[in-house]
Amino acid sequence: MKNTFFSSKWSRIFIVALLILALSTVAFGKTKLRVTTWEGAEGTAIDESIIAEFVKLNPEYEVVYEAVTDDRYYQKVLTDIGAGTPPDVVLLDAEMIPKFFEGNFLTDLAPFLSRLAREGFSGSNVYEYFPVLVDIARIDKKIYSIPKDTSPMGIFYNKKMFDEMGVPYPPEDGWTMEQFTETAKQLTKDLDGDGQNDTWGFAFPSWVGIVVPLLWAGGGEVFSPDFSHTSGYLNSEINVKTYQTYLDLLKAGYAPTPQQASALGGSSALFYTGKVGMVLTGRWFNISIKGQIKKGLDLQVGGATLPFADINRKDTVSYLSGWSVPSGAPDKRGAVMLAAFLSSDLAQRKRCLEGGLAISANRAVAQLQGETDPLDAAFIKMLDYSRVPVGSQTKFYRPKFEDLWAEAFDKINVGGESLKSVLDWMASEMDKAIAKGES
């Protein structure tokens, strides 16, 4: 008899072994995916329920969910990347994308997403998201993050305080700097006649994340269009005029000084205790507001736009967090599938519509969200004209620009230096850093 491959004893053993191996792979060989996020306890519970759905639909995967809530989140992620064990999916603040991109740490998701979208995989169709959010995650036509949720910057106002003082609410579709100033003046009162203000119009905006959109809303820019320099933009006449208006309001006592605000517990404390009528911040403040109301705080809150120099030229910024896939992820398709699923319709509904944790990046879900929460609706409208944050377009924003602004504000607030001279100094320092490539 001819000794063929299949007739030899060892070959048969080999084939049987292969079959057993293949079967055992089907039965037990799950691919492990790891997702790292900064979510706290509440967000973690929601994410875990989303992941449970993903695993149910894709049983070939097993997912480890790693929540790192500390401010050393990025140190942890970079340690993992440095050690050659990056997570398969990582939650990134859009302003970290340029840094990760420069380190060549990110996968271009576009080809994976278009393939998954053709297969009808939920969360992979970029047209379901607000266009500005996809733009935030895009560098040179490549997409490095799938939008998770967003927070436009606007104003929260205390309706009860407005009512008690007989101050009209801010107009829904935008207002001017003059209207804002007038409102702030009307809300500032010395209630007990001791010569000291007991209520103020607004909590002074000194954080860089709100200062930049305020300057935009005033008609200015902070970087040149190609992000090669800041001189002539950051320290422009228009920016000086815009921010000087806020500083003048502060000086006139229509906002507590940063020192006073800090002593009284910060902006949130001032808002909850009815000390300030308006807080300029991101939509994320709504989570805390809802929590306080649930615990019994008698508070009614409205949402308004930032004040504009020109009502026909609206501007704000929308911050984004999104799911990225590190370049070292071994199973990229699986990782992108998970990333997309974490932003899928189901995920957006669970996180934003039911959980109320953020404004959904998905247009349809955000619309439903706006219908159920008027405060969210005010912020969702802002996405129509929101701009891409500077930080997601240039690596020179974080931390260089942020750190320099903190120093600049101290020079104004503590050092008493003029705004113009401080902005000139900051622009010059920024340009030097850009020239040297120091981010």
List residues binding other proteins (CB under 8 A): 34, 38-45, 64-70, 72-73, 76, 79-80, 82-85, 93, 151, 264-265, 268-270, 272-273, 282, 284, 287-288, 291-292, 295-297, 299, 321
The minimum distance between CB 113 and other proteins, in angstroms, equals 24
Question: Which residue lies nearer to other proteins by CB, 80 or 108?
Answer: 80
Whether 272 and 297 have beta carbons less than 8 Å apart is answered as: yes
DSSP 8-state code for residue 72: T
The minimum distance between CB 64 and other proteins, in angstroms, equals 6
Euclidean distance between CA atoms 285 and 26, whole angstroms: 47
The minimum distance between CB 357 and other proteins, in angstroms, equals 8
List Cα–Cα distances, 18 to 12, 15, 201, 292, 394, in angstroms. Answer: 10, 5, 75, 61, 52
- Chain centroid to CA 279: 18
Q: Is 409 helix (H, G, I), strand (E, B) or coil?
A: helix
The minimum distance between CB 50 and other proteins, in angstroms, equals 15
Fill in the amino acid letter for 414: V
Question: Which residue lies nearer to other proteins by CB, 46 or 368?
Answer: 46
**Nearest-CA neighbor of 268 among 238, 299, 296?**
299
The minimum distance between CB 279 and other proteins, in angstroms, equals 13
Question: Which residue lies nearer to other proteins by CB, 219 or 274?
Answer: 274
DSSP 8-state code for residue 234: T
Question: Which residue lies nearer to other proteins by CB, 1 or 41?
Answer: 41
Q: Which helix (H) or strand (E) holds 268?
A: helix 266-272
Q: Which helix (H) or strand (E) holds 290?
A: helix 285-294
Question: Which residue lies nearer to other proteins by CB, 80 or 128?
Answer: 80
First and final CA of the chain: distance in angstroms? 76
Euclidean distance between CA atoms 69 and 55, whole angstroms: 24
Question: Which residue lies nearer to other proteins by CB, 268 or 413?
Answer: 268
> How many beta carbons lie within 10 A of that of residue 269, not counting itself?
15
Whether 93 and 321 have beta carbons less than 8 Å apart is answered as: yes
The minimum distance between CB 409 and other proteins, in angstroms, equals 21
The minimum distance between CB 284 and other proteins, in angstroms, equals 4
Question: Which residue lies nearer to other proteins by CB, 9 or 295?
Answer: 295
Q: Which residues contact 391 (CB under 8 A, 6 or more apart)?
A: 94, 95, 98, 397, 398, 401, 402
Question: Which residue lies nearer to other proteins by CB, 149 or 315?
Answer: 149
Euclidean distance between CA atoms 71 and 382, whole angstroms: 28
Question: Which residue lies nearer to other proteins by CB, 177 or 361?
Answer: 361
The minimum distance between CB 216 and other proteins, in angstroms, equals 21
The minimum distance between CB 244 and other proteins, in angstroms, equals 29
**Nearest-CA neighbor of 214 among 193, 230, 183, 238?**
238
